Amino acid sequence: MTDALAATPSPDTVETGVRDTGPIASGLADVLADTYRLVFKTHAYHWNVEGPAFYSMHKLTEEQYENMFAAADTLAERIRALGHLAPSRMDEILNRSKIKDATGELSAGGMAQDLAASHERIAHRLHALAELASSRRDIVTEDLATARSAFHEQAAWMLRALAKS
């Protein structure tokens, strides 16, 4: 094995003025886990939705899972910028996430309601993360959490509105 391939990921000490980065990185990892679970759920509904709301639901879910997939990278890179390791195993994602799978087959409206509730759950976690980051002088994570919360709140609103059709 060459030296270039022998490097293993490790935490770093980062001195940016952010206090106590561990809980912030953990909160980011929780949101990252929720995001990955919701990307999959959204993608699965995108594939399987049927009925008169098919096109609207299909297009909306595509926009949402693409946004969340890109956001996962941003969340993981913020964890690394704080000097911590991002989750790297599926069991970590499953154990950290509060997003749950629905039971049984859902109608298009049921899918929209389920996704809306999941987006609200992530927004709730992001509000807590923003407060935590603020209390530890981490304006970058606070801004990231605020922006991600805005996305999830808007996604929930759109899905709730679609579910009424």
- Give this prediction's pTM: 0.92
**156 falls in which pLDDT band (50, 70, 90)?**
very high
pLDDT in tens, 7-62: 667 666 767 778 889 999 999 999 999 999 999 999 999 999 999 999 999 999 99
Instruction: Return the amino acid letter for 112.
Output: A
Residue listed under structure tokens 């709301």 = 53
For 60-108, the DSSP string reads HHHHHHHHHHHHHHHHHHHHHHTT-PPP-SHHHHHHH----PPSS---H
**165 falls in which pLDDT band (50, 70, 90)?**
confident
Closest by CA to 154, choosing from 60, 54, 39, is 60
CATH for the stretch 20-82+105-163: 1.20.1260.10
pLDDT in tens, 92-105: 999 999 999 999 99
Kindly compute the dihedral angle of the four CA atoms of residues 63, 64, 68, 69, in this order, to the nearest 10 degrees.
Answer: -50
Residue listed under structure tokens 């996962």 = 72
pLDDT attached to residue 68: 98
